[in-house]
Structure 1
């Protein structure tokens, strides 16, 4: 090769660089480079030389491009091309070193720069992968934090609702005590609860008034129970009883009792469903005057329609035991909230529906409540009303309604056995030999095991799960069942942590305020700290609403506990055929997945936990109902609050035992059966 100057050297290498540029532009990654090969040579010569030194494949493609081009620089250019496009990297580096002499050694430096750039790219890729992993973790953490935040907000909203409820109840009580009639009724009830003794509070009140105890009671009774009009006193009472709901079905209990121009209802409950409905034939009660509604107990199927009644009839009296008078407003406020939520849900889909009542109606009904202690006669127009203990739940009462010498006894929901929260029924003399006994028949076809055996079964099942380190969810009805189970566990398993959630916790606090002996939140029992304890509470028992898993916090707990092999879900009460609780029971033992559905969508979880039932009915069974019928020994017995086929069979049993039965329909005193 002849000696050449810098200009001649550039002329000789130019065709090679152009061929390399064409080879580079063939690559898909060349999108950001100048598309003109001459411009690429001009702007990126060091890069092209470095690529020439590193990549044999690039040299082969460049040789192909060069073979199709005419080399005009003579032998020097052809010889230089043979060196720079040689298959051996060493030959190429030597050629590059020869054509770029001097202290700069541009090609070698470009080669080193390219290697450093490649290493830097590799490090950046590694850092990118690390950053991507951290981002994925951060996103998962953000989703979990968002979920926890939503749960916390929900829990705070529940606490605010509880605080609002307490504030409303306080305001209601304050307004009640400013009402002269309510104040007189409360004072009369307090004095009557103290008994007929002429000492104590009654004597003090008489001394303060400068009169006798009998006169004090007479004045208060005159205020609370004004004398009926003379026509009602002289007229033939003509006692009449008409079932308006909850007769051949369960729910919407309502009984119209009328005599001497006075008409009262015993119970006014809601029929279950979405939306809830009033008693089936309530219109028959509203077609004339109505003086009062006597409520047997605070379950919604017996009292849930009362606010709708008082909203339409502001003068309507509401009589109940002191405990029921306190519990009902809590139930009404929750029902009003659920009705409003359902209406909002329907509105989102363009639907409409009638809301039976709102929070203001519930508050107004609460102010109408008159406390009537057990065993104290209270006059309502031409009728006299007396309540007696019915067992079942705290404050539950049976009712004796008297019109002249005619009497009807109504059991309401009744049980003869002692529970943790309440004793059994106590039939008064005023009920014995009544003209008519209206008796519930919820469990008239069942013979329950002894209560001690049922309690023992629950205790052993819970203890077994907790000893294994698992946790138990017991979905329970908010009023009665939840508090009963909590007190059973406190008595028999005091070392097992128990958490009470949802409305069940609110009502447990009301229980404690009504009866200091019913201490639900003691020792290892507490209100659930949701959402924190949904995952943090690992061993123990959660008692939560709703009892049929139709909604509420019980669903949140179930979603977490059902997938746990060491956990359990014990359903503690009646499960409607269409309820999620019944569907879960049908799945029990088969394995598989269970889907919860609500307005937010669907959530499916595997069922690995034990699923079973806990039988702790608060209703009298067949034998218990027969005992009650025998004890009251009424002239006729009407069965309500049950299933027709079972009622028919039980009525036959009553007749075999010598009882005369009346059909579940309108009844008149003295009318032929």
Structure 2
């Protein structure tokens, strides 16, 4: 029997009704009529004997379906009670049939829904992949634009320097006054104009070779180049009255009892120079607090100790305000500064756009065009070579700290001031420690940085060992290690440590740190200590690595988690309990890095970071720790410097006032005379 036993009979009844003239306009067949009018046909069969008879005549049920034939006979029976019983059975069967059909329809709908959901998931996945690919392309495009912008600035500056006699003369003089010339025996034997055979101890220096080629003695050759760099002053006539003070005078204009915005004004006679002109970190960055005091008169030169922006970041603005400014630095610092300046411009422009969105008008401290102008003014000065600036003579000496960092000896007559800049005495992977020259000993004043003047650093090998073991442990557990690092110096040091101590662990260098690392390789390519940051297990990060790099080490800017790709990496790594984030340097009290250390110590569930106007709340499940690898001398190291220089007086700068007060007492116990961080004059 079919699910609905009345179906054959109702179809026969419909055929009877459809033969009536009144139904001539009906377009459907008997099956459609039954579907549309089942209840009506049922009632008509129950009430009409004639219709039952006519339906019996039309009824055609195969013998194989005997059950349906028997049921039709019951429904067409002359006894109404029998018909009623058959009707109840038919209705029950119809309901069951309807329920079964509904179940089948529901099942079909569920299958269809699953298919649609699968298609939706596939489409969503493709859409997400397309968005991810687009973001990778955008990130790659942004990096390409930034690199192209940096190269454009460097190329423009180089072209301008090539057309500038002073710049070329200073570069040539710095090159000639570096390491002694190495001449291979085979190369010398092939040279028809070769120099006479000499022992290794008496090989000619580059300066001697150049002077011989020019047909003059080395002293005259140097004097000629010096004259190009600084033309000699015309002789004084009898009518000129000389009234300027010739004694050295020093005034700290920034970075005295704080860290950031380092700047010293040093004067003698009518010559005024600055040692450093850095930015004060913040939002926004600011110039040295008292820089206007220097700009009350002419500034003849700024001597830059190294390329960190808290020491050199204001130089382009200074060059714009002082048209004849000379910028003196080591060759390495000269080549590294433009990238740091360009990064400052980028950050200043970003902050200007964000401020504008809130209706606040701000102006960057200098435009992009100022970088080329400042780069053109740069004069390269090798270590240990005096250079005249008016009534002053400056000499640079190695200060350790980072590549190219220098201390400065400033002389006026018999008076001397020694400025350490940021200084360290221990050997690092990327640079050796300081070397105090004889010209610095027994100076009138030693101006010494004091960043870590109250700290006693552990042995550096021990600190490196701790970092290496911690990274190895995280990697063994299948995790990633993020080390936010300062783009210049710290990032390269970390990469070299990883390459030397953990060659089996993949390492990515991201953000500006990668660009500066390439600059390190370029700057040192022809020098006595060539640095290879990339290679083997160390490579530059790509946009897709945020999700695809699942195990290893990431070194990225910024060092205090205040922005840049380090924030994006932190958002991926901090929520992972197998991973770790190791801060590697000083963290300002207001920095996100300092907040992260506090949050981890207090077991806070998340860290909130403002990444250039976008607030990010990042869960903290990874290990968080501070792995200090300071590039500054500690208390013991600073005392050794003070003892080695043995100046008449010591002034502390680049540190916190409370710490300086305690360290000055330590110096006093060691029988050093100290002076306040304020204006000073040689007596």
Contact 1:228/1:382 (CA < 8 Å) preserved in 2? no
What's the secondary structure of 1:273's corresponding residue?
coil
Alignment partner of 1:193: what SS?
coil
Equivalent residue in structure 1 for 2:404, among 357, 382, 395: 395
1:519 corresponds in structure 2 to 532
Moved more, 386-395 or 562-571: 562-571
Which one of the candidate residues 459, 474, 481 is aligned to 1:465?
A: 474
Q: Tell me, yes or no, if structure 1 residue 145 matches structure 2 residue 130.
A: yes
- Which of 352, 359, 362 in structure 2 is aligned with 1:353? 362
Tell me, yes or no, if the aligned pair for 2:14 and 2:30 is still in contact at 8 Å.
no
* Residues in 1 aligned to 2:167 and 2:519: alpha-carbon distance in whole angstroms: 21
Contact 1:470 1:539 in 2 (8 A): yes
User: Map of 1:373-388 to 2, 5 A cutoff?
Assistant: 373-388=382-397
1:365 to 374, 377, 380: 374
Q: CA deviation at 1:10?
A: 4.9
Match of residue 218 from structure 2: 213
* Alpha-carbon distance change, 78 to 488 in structure 1, aligned in 2, over 3 angstroms: farther
Deviation by residue 1:365-409 (Cα, 9 ceiling, x = unmatched): 111110011100000010000011111100001111111111111
- Greater shift, 204-213 or 423-432, is seen at 204-213
Deviation at 1:593, TM superposition (A): 2.7
- Cα deviation for residue 495 of structure 1 reads 1.6
Superposed counterparts of 1:621-660, under 5 Å: 621-660=634-673
Match of 1:132 in 2: 117
Q: How much does 1:112 deviate? A: 11
User: Is 2:566 the partner of 1:548?
Assistant: no
> 1:419 Cα shift?
0.8
Change (3 A) 1:329 1:98: farther
Q: Which residue of 2 aligns with 1:598?
A: 611
The structure-2 alpha-carbon separation of the partners of 1:50 and 1:549, relative to structure 1 and needing over 3 Å to count, comes to same
- Pairwise CA distance, 1:269: 0.2
**Is this contact kept in 1: 2:397–2:407, CA < 8 A?**
yes
Select which of 453, 456, 478 maps to 1:444: 453
Residues 448/202 of structure 1: CA separation in 2 closer, same or farther (3 Å cut): closer
Pairing partner for 1:202 from 204, 207, 216: 207
Q: TM-score, normalised by structure 1?
A: 0.83
Rounded to whole Å, the distance in 2 between the matches of 1:294 and 1:74 is: 115
Of 665, 668, 673, the residue aligned with 2:681 is: 668
Partner residue in 2 for 1:21: none
Quote the offset at 1:577 in angstroms: 1.9
Once the two structures are overlaid, the 10-residue window that deviates more, 170-179 or 518-527, is: 170-179
Q: Is the Cα contact below 8 Å between 1:337 and 1:358 reproduced in 2? A: no
Consecutive unaligned residues of structure 1, counting only runs of 5 or more, are 18-38, 84-88, 100-107
Matched, 1:316 2:309: no
Cα deviations by residue, 1:187-220 (Å, 9 ceiling, x for unpaired): 2222222569893543443344332222111111
Q: Distance in 2 between matches of 1:77 and 1:241?
A: 128
For residues 125 and 613 of structure 2, the distance between their equivalents in structure 1, rounded to whole angstroms, comes to 21
Q: Match for residue 225 of structure 1?
A: 230
Q: Deviations over 1:337-384 (max 9, x none)?
A: 111111112222222102111211112111111001110000001000
Per the TM alignment, residue 164 of structure 1 is displaced from its structure 2 partner at its CA by 3.1
1:102 alignment partner in structure 2 = none
- Give the whole-Å Cα distance in 1 for the aligned partners of 2:204 and 2:106: 98
Change (3 A) 1:168 1:354: closer
Q: Provide the secondary structure at the position in 1 that maps to 2:563.
A: coil
Partner of 2:341, secondary structure, is helix
Whether 1:267 aligns to 2:292 is: no
Moved more, 219-228 or 236-245: 219-228
Aligned to 2:9: none
Aligned to 2:584, which of 572, 584, 589?
Answer: 572
1:454 corresponds to which residue? Answer: 463
Q: Which residue of 2 aligns with 1:28?
A: none
Cα distance in 1 for partners of 2:636, 2:29 equals 102
Q: Describe the shift of the 1:339–1:77 C-alpha distance in structure 2 as closer, same or farther (beyond 3 A).
A: farther
Aligned pair partner of 2:344 in 326, 335, 339: 335
SS of 1:165's equivalent in the other structure is helix
Q: Please state how far the C-alpha of 1:262 moved relative to its aligned partner.
A: 0.4
Paired residues of 1:198 and 1:213 also in contact (CA < 8 A): no
Q: Mark the CA change 1:112 to 1:414 in structure 2 (over 3 Å): closer, same or farther.
A: same
- CA shift at 1:145, angstroms? 2.9
Aligned to 2:259: 250
Shift in CA distance, 8/546, structure 1 to aligned 2, threshold 3 Å: closer
Aligned: 1:280 with 2:286: no
- Which residue of structure 2 lines up, in the alignment, with residue 171 of structure 1? 156
| Change in 2 beyond 3 A, CA 1:381/1:7 | closer
The number of equivalent residue pairs is 612
SS in 2 for 1:588: helix
Aligned residue runs from structure 1 range 601-612, under 5 A:
601-612=614-625
**Larger deviation, residues 229-238 vs 628-637:** 229-238
Distance 1:98 1:201, change over 3 A: farther
Aligned equivalents of 1:211, 1:98: Cα separation in 2: 137
CA contact (8 A) 2:251 2:679 kept: yes
Shift of 1:447: 0.8
Q: Deviations over 1:232-260 (max 9, x none)?
A: 98854121100000001110000000111
2:632 counterpart residue number: 619
Q: Relative to 1, partners in 2 of residues 1:155 and 1:75: Cα closer, same or farther, differing over 3 Å? A: closer
Check the 8 A contact 1:232/1:261 in 2, yes or no.
no
- Look up the match of 2:191: none
1:557 Cα deviation after fit: 1.3
Are the aligned partners of 1:176 and 1:367 in contact in 2 as well (CA < 8 Å)?
Answer: yes
The answer to whether the Cα contact below 8 Å between 1:408 and 1:434 also exists between their aligned partners in 2 is: yes
- Provide the C-alpha distance between the structure 1 equivalents of 2:666 and 2:278, rounded to a whole number of angstroms: 29
Task: Using the TM superposition, give the Cα deviation of residue 624 of structure 1 relative to its aligned residue in structure 2, in angstroms.
Answer: 0.8
**What residue number does 2:519 align with?**
510
CA contact (8 A) 2:325 2:377 kept: yes
1:51, distance to aligned residue in structure 2 (A) = 6.6
Structure 1 vs Structure 2 CA RMSD: 3.6
The aligned counterpart of 1:539 is: 551
Farther-moved stretch of structure 1 (593-602 vs 307-316): 593-602
Q: Distance in 2 between matches of 1:8 and 1:559?
A: 75
